[in-house]
Structure 1
Amino acid sequence: MTSASRREIFKRSVLVFVFFWFFFGSLAHFLFTRAEAGIVPTYIPFHRLDVYVSGVLEMLGAIGVLFKRARSWAGIGLFLLTIAVTPANIHMAMHWRSYPEVSPWILNARLVFQVIFLAGIWWSTGASKYYAPFYKGKH
C-alpha cells in the first residue's frame, strides 16, 4: 500500500468520524435540550433556541459531508460552527465547579481535542481548497 493510499484511507476515516460526531451530536440537541442549554454561557441569550439552531446546523453539516459536491461547504460550515460553540466549552472549563457531573480534566482536554478536531474537519472535508488561493498569495 502506498503512502498516498494510506493517507486517503486515514482522511476517509477522519471524515467518517466527523460525520458521526456531528450526526449524533445534533441528536443530543433535541433529546437532551435542557442539558445542552445548561452549558450555554449566561451572557448569550436564547439558550433553547441556540441549542435547536445549532442542532439543525450540525445535522445539515453532517448530511452535507456525505455528498462530494457539498462536502467542502459543509466542512466550512461545521468548522465555523465548532468555533461558534467554543465559548460554551471555554465557559465550562473556566467554571468547572458549576458542572460537577463532568471531571475538570475532561473539560480541559475537550479544548485541546477541539483544536485537533478543527484541523480534522478542515482537512477531511477538503475545505482548504477554498482557502488555498489566499494562503498561496493569489488573491
Structure 2
Amino acid sequence: MQNTDKLSTTFKILLWIYALFYVLAGFNHFVSTEGYYAIMPEWLPSHKFLIYLSGILEIAFGIMLLFSRSRKLAAWLIILMLLAFMPAHIYMIQKAPFMLKSIEITPLIAWVRIPFQALFIWLAWIYTKR
C-alpha cells in the first residue's frame, strides 16, 4: 500500500469516527436532556428547544460529513456550532464545582473542556480543506 493510500484510508476512518461522534452526541441530547439544563447559561432562552435543536444539528452535520458533496459545508457548520457552544463551556467554568447527575464537575474538568473544543474545531477545519 502506498503512502497516499494509507493516508486516504486513515482519513476515511477518522472521518467516520468524527461523524459518528456527532451523531451519537446529537442523540444524547434526546436521551440525557436533563443533563444539558445544568450547563446552559440562564440568560439563554428556551433551553429545551435549544437542547433539541443542537441535537438535531449535531446529527445532521455528522451525517453530512460522510458525503463528499456536503462535507465542506458540514465542517464549516460544525465550527460555527462549536463556537456557539462556547458560552455553555464558559458558564460551566463559572459555575464549577457542581453536580451533573452523579458526576462532580470540578473547575479543572470545566477548563479541560475548552482545549477539547479547540481540538474539535481544528478537526472540522481539516475537513473544510478536503
Report TM bin, short chain.
0.7 to 0.9
**Corresponding letter in the other structure for 2:118:** V
Structure 1 position 5, deviation (Å):
4.1
How far residue 113 of structure 1 moved from its aligned partner, in angstroms, is 1.2
Distance of 2:70 and 2:87 partners within structure 1 = 27
Question: Relative to total residues, which structure has the larger strand share, 1 or 2?
Answer: 2
TM-score by length of 2: 0.85
| Deviation (angstroms), 1:12 | 2.7
1:110 corresponds to: 113
Deviation at 1:2, TM superposition (A): 5.0
Structure 1 Cα separation of the partners of residues 20 and 110 of structure 2: 21
Name stretches of at least 5 consecutive residues in structure 1 with no aligned partner: 130-139
Question: 5+ residue gaps in structure 2?
Answer: none
So what's the TM-score if we normalise by structure 1? 0.80
Aligned to 2:85: 85
Preserved CA contact (<8 Å) 2:36 2:51: yes
Residue 27 (1) aligns with residue 1 (2): no
CA–CA separation in structure 2 for the residues paired with 1:93 and 1:41: 11
- 1:41 matched to which residue of 2? 41
- Displacement of 1:105: 2.1
Distance 1:96 1:103 in 2: 5
State the partner residue of 2:96: 96
Q: Which residue of structure 1 aligns with residue 58 of structure 2?
A: 58
What is the aligned-residue RMSD (CA, Å)? 1.9
For residues 73-116 of structure 1, what are the alpha-carbon distances to aligned partners after superposition, in whole Å with 9 as ceiling and x for unaligned? 11111111111111101110222123462233222111111111
